[in-house]
Structures are given as C-alpha cells and as structure tokens.
Amino acid sequence: MKKARIVGTGSYLPEKILTNFDLEKFLDTSDEWIVSRTGIRERRIAAADENTSDLATRAARQALDMAGISPGDLDMIIVGTITGDYPWPATSCLVQKNLGIPGCAAFDVSAACSGFVYALDMAARQIESGAIKTVLVIGAEILSRILDWEDRNTCILFGDGAGAAVLKAEDGPNGVLSSHLHADGSFWELLYQPGFGTRHTPSAEGMDQRLHLVRMQGNEVFKVAVRSLSDVALEALGANGMAVADIDHFIPHQANRRILEATARRLGLKDEQVVINVDRFGNTSGASIPIALDEANRAGKIKEGDVVLLDAFGGGFTWASSLLLW
C-alpha cells in the first residue's frame, strides 16, 4: 500500500496585527488578563479586500513551491473551513479557480478547529486506496468577520490565517501512519454560529440579535477540550505501539496556552516536544495546526524520520489526531 506523505507545507498570515493593547482601546479588557488567561498577545486580521480563498491560495502556492509540484498535478483539493467565502460553492472550488486547474476534485470539510486534520484523513485514505496520487489540503479561516467585537469573552481569542500541505503517494514507511476522527454533536450549543442557515434564515431581526456571530461557553469548552485532546493523542500512540516519549513534535490546535499546557501536563509531554504559536496568532480555528506545522517545518525543526502528532479539537464538538512519520 502507498503511504500519503506530506512533501510541502505553506502558510499565510494577513499583515495587520491586532494586539491586546489595541483591544484595550475599545473593549473592557487588558493585556494582563488576556495573556494570563489565554497566552495570546496578538492576532492577525484579514484586510477588507482579502477573503478566505485568497489566504488559502497563498498558503497553497507556498506548499506547492516547497513540494516542487505544479498545480496541474493535483488530483484533489480539500479545504477545512467554517468561514468560507460563501455558504456555497466550496472555498476549495475558488482555490482551484485561482490556481487555474479545472477538473480535479474539490470540496470543503466543516469540522471547525478539527477541519484540517479531518481533511488530512480524507486525503490520506484516498491516496492509500490507490485512487489518486497528489492532494492539496488547506485549513483557512477569517474568524474576525464572524466575531462579536463587543463580546470580550470570545473576540479576544481568535485570529485569521491559512496553512496548507501537499500530500503525495510514496513507497516506503514515511507518511500518515494513522488518523482518528471523533465528534459528539450533543455539545453543539457550547460553541457555534447561530445564523444564518436553515434554522435561522437571514433577517433584520436576526442581525439585531447578533445571530450571525460566534457564541461560546468558554469554561465548558475548556474542560472537554483538554480531555478530548489527551484521549485522542493516546489513542493514536496506542494504535501505533508508541509512547508519549516517542513524539518529536506535538502540534495541537492552538486554542489557548492554558488548554495546551493542561493537555501537555496530562500527557506528560516535555516543553521541547510541544509546538506553540498561539501567542502570535491566537486561535485560527481550522488553520492553526497547518500554520504551526509549516512554521516548525520551515524553521528546519522537523527532520526526516521524526514522529509528528497533530491533535485537534473544535466546535461540534469534533476532535481528531493524525500521526505522521516525517
């Protein structure tokens, strides 16, 4: 059986930086509170003329460049996002148009912050089955457009960005070793965007009630996130006969520093095993894992033969892992 191996990564972060001190100017909050509760110092905000497909395309071009693969060689594009340019068509179709490669399969995955890891699983299984050879997987979000900038409980946490990976069929042991995907829809109301779908169709009244903006019960999310991130990491290790000490790079969804530290403590991970960039980019939902992966990869920290564990948790709730032999 062929392995699905990541042969290139890329990322794009919008230029505009919004610091905690900027937030202090229009919100009843402080840098001290945000840093102590979340570890976030700043986040990126997309420009008015930038859309999710633009961020995704920039990250994709970087990943393709690193892989040395021309867009025309792609068999499939999958974008993990909950903030696509449109409710439909899929943002992946717009990325395909931007890359100028009509014909290959393109679809989005809606699994909130787990979107990229879910998409990676789809890509890997398509490649392992022998059906296709080369897949572009992207996580891209512009959360800033669906945040309630008057709600200090939520708007301080999130940021915009995109990350991408190119997967290729290869012989040999390196590639995706396993992935595990989970969801529990009974938690849907703890983190969601009420409008505008079929339940709340667009209306002036709905806008007044701010139904189009993110709602979250932070404390509840926190508890389930730590438990799920730890459980799915152990599940991945168990399935591969590995121990926590075998992980060279643990790349969790960058929700906030306290969630990451609690998860790392629960698993018994050492600081040097854990990749954290939430201080600079906040929580970019489906984009957070591929951005962190690309940063670590470009910095030359990930070497051939390293064990990389991607660990995601998000709205739905959804949670997922992907264990890679680099």
Q: Could you tell me where the beta strands, DSSP code E, fall in the chain?
A: 3-12, 16-19, 42-45, 76-80, 105-109, 134-142, 160-170, 175-183, 191-192, 215-216, 249-252, 307-314, 318-325
Q: Could you tell me where the beta strands, DSSP code E, fall in 33-103?
A: 42-45, 76-80
| Binding piece for ligand ACO, criterion CB under 6 A, among 5-13, 33-41, 98-106, 117-125 | 33-41
Active site residue 253: yes
Active-site annotation holder among 20, 253, 256, 297? 253
The whole-angstrom separation of Cα 280 and Cα 313 is 20
Phi–psi pair at 76, nearest 5 degrees: -160, 145
314 near ligand ACO, rule: CB under 6 A:
yes
Please report, as residue ranges, which positions from 116 to 145 form the binding site for ligand ACO (by CB under 6 A). none
CB 122 within 8 A of CB 110: no
Shortest Cβ contact with ligand ACO: which residue?
Answer: 218
110 near ligand ACO, rule: CB under 6 A:
no
The whole-angstrom separation of Cα 151 and Cα 243 is 41
**Near ligand ACO by CB under 6 A: residue from 2, 61, 152, 212:** 152
Please report, as residue ranges, which positions from 155 to 184 form the binding site for ligand ACO (by CB under 6 A). 156-157
* CA-wise closest residue to 9 among 233, 301, 247: 301
CB 91 within 8 A of CB 108: yes
Cβ of residue 150: shortest distance to ligand ACO, in angstroms? 11
192 near ligand ACO, rule: CB under 6 A:
no
CB 226 within 8 A of CB 263: yes
318 near ligand ACO, rule: CB under 6 A:
no
Please report, as residue ranges, which positions from 217 to 236 form the binding site for ligand ACO (by CB under 6 A). 218-219, 221-222, 225
111 near ligand ACO, rule: CB under 6 A:
no
> What residues are labeled active site?
113, 253, 283
Q: What is the contact surface with ligand ACO in residues (CB under 6 A)?
A: 29, 33-34, 37-38, 113, 152-153, 156-157, 191, 216, 218-219, 221-222, 225, 253, 255-256, 258-259, 283, 313-314
